[in-house]
Chain A
Amino acid sequence: MAHRHVILGASLAGATAAITLREEGADGDVILIGAEPQPPYERPPLSKAYLRGEVPFDKALVRPAAFYAEHGIQTMFGTRATRIDPSARVVELEDHRRVSFDALLIATGGRNRTVSIPGVDLDGIYSLRTVQDADRIRAEMIAGRRAVVVGMGFIGSEVAASLRQKGLEVVAIDPSKTPLFRVLGEGVGQTIAKLHRDHGVRMIFEDTVAAFEGTRRVGCVVTKAGLRLECDFAVVGIGIEPAVEALADSGIHVDNGVVVDEYCQTNVRGIYAAGDVANHYHPVFDRRIRVEHWQNAIKQGAAAARNMLGRRIAYDEIHWFWSDQYDANLQYAGFHTQWEQLVVRGRLESASYLACYVNAGRIDAAVGLNRAKELRRIMPLIKARRPVNLERLRDESVDLRSLHEIS
């Protein structure tokens, strides 16, 4: 029987799933529906090389625009889904069309979190998620202008770096003690603060925005502590929330995103989720995790497609991401929320280190600054879930690959 596969979200996860379905021999229809008007693209360049005008948009496309038709993938871009009816096996679109499915993948991603701060609707205040967002910020990026970056998570940190690289004056503000504090903690966060400080970013921590001021257009950011930051524009990067509106009243379990098992399947048989929107059960860490990164979008999109084809393959990738800021290459692998010990190879004060978040003698996660090779070598140790010899882990003369043997 021919099967109809419908994918909501022409995202990296959604596109990868469509491509994988075809590569792995799906018969029947593959229909890719996305709210954004352009073909699926990768978002990492939007805060980095694309934002700086160093690469054209085409370079960010997941596949050339013609690829989908050539491979029998029907596309409906610029089309938002408004409702999913699991019992009728139908998706409703905003133009009231109805698309039936046998298997459905939800890869709708997220949308930028907003705040209700006085003045937030003034012109010249931006957030960054889509290529249109990036284009708007790019249009403001003229050397010598003054920008305020609100939020020093990954997007804020990368945008601050790109703005400095283009010669703008940057003030960044974050409620935590350091950039990337929530994920990486204070010790590592301080090293990122130093990186930005060394590149001329003025940083304000443990303070938040009280108001944006200006007539029509923002001209000043006022903080709770009473600072007045004159600026030409502002970029707000305070995280995303999963895009789950279409699931309202569907009976599909939503809790911090779409809840799925290790086979990327929701509580409704035949309905799957992948990418930023999917709060997935991770068998290695024995808990649910929702991840907003490039590698997860690709790997989980592909895994969901295989499970849509009935392969029954558990998704157990060790999550990994990179964040390039200036000339520094920051990478993270694994998963942690707290840690008993931070075991550091090298020194946090230096420009190159690997820091491991250790609980009960096991490495749950690691972050590397300019330590790409070691970060990759430690991933099997994270996956193994076995105690490691922490003295040898700390010893830089020890090749991490030798720690794979049971210690």
Chain B
Amino acid sequence: MAAEFVTTIKTNEIPVGGVTAIDVRGTRIAVANVGGKYYAFDDACTHEQCSLAEQGELAGTTLTCTCHGSEFDVRTGKVLAPPATVPVKAYRTRVEGDALQIEV
């Protein structure tokens, strides 16, 4: 099935500097609000599956999974620091009115 943008939650439900997890068509996706820009990625840390929305600490565009210290770039999902070695899958987002849409 081709990827398409799916309307999820309202953007004002994600505080600036915060990370919120939502279910999008059966996939748990975390969304980070970096100064009004929204970045979406799989919620499960690729190291030991901690929830990045619950355990993640966001500083700028770097998200630290505080369970074991892995760091990811929320813009791309790329690993910035171990123990994780595998990137988290990132999703494209867009804002339609007051709603956040995620491409899945």
Could you tell me which A residues sit within 8 Å of B by CB distance?
Answer: 42, 44, 49, 294-295, 298, 320, 322, 324, 329, 372-373, 375-377
Contact = CB atoms under 8 A, between A and B. Distances in A.
A375 B83 contact: no
B57 A373 contact: yes
A42 B69 contact: no
Contact of A42 (B55, B57, B83): B83
Interface stretch (B22-30, B35-43, B60-68, B95-103): B60-68
A379 to B, nearest CB: 10
Given A49-B48, A294-B83, A298-B82, A375 B66 contact: yes
A373 B56 CA distance: 8
A42 B67 CA distance: 17
A376 B48 contact: no
Interface residues of B, number: 11
Contacts of B64: 376
Contact of A322 (B57, B68, B82): B68
Contacts of A298: 82
A4 B48 CA distance: 38
A322 B82 CA distance: 13
A329 B67 contact: yes
A367 to B, nearest CB: 14
Contact of B55 (A294, A372, A377): A372
A44 B68 CA distance: 11
Interface string B61-91: 0001011110000000000001100000000
Complex A-B, nearest 6 residue pairs according to Cβ-Cβ distance, in ascending order: A372-B66, A376-B66, A373-B66, A372-B67, A372-B55, A322-B68
Contacts of B69: 295, 320, 322, 376
Contacts of B83: 42, 44, 294
Contact of B57 (A295, A320, A324, A377): A377
* Of A49, A324, A372, most B-chain CB atoms within 10 Å: A372
Given A49-B48, A295-B69, A322-B68, A376 B82 contact: no
25 contacts: A42-B83, A44-B83, A49-B48, A294-B83, A295-B69, A298-B82, A320-B69, A322-B67, A322-B68, A322-B69, A324-B48, A329-B67, A372-B50, A372-B55, A372-B66, A372-B67, A373-B55, A373-B57, A373-B66, A375-B66, A376-B57, A376-B64, A376-B66, A376-B69, A377-B57
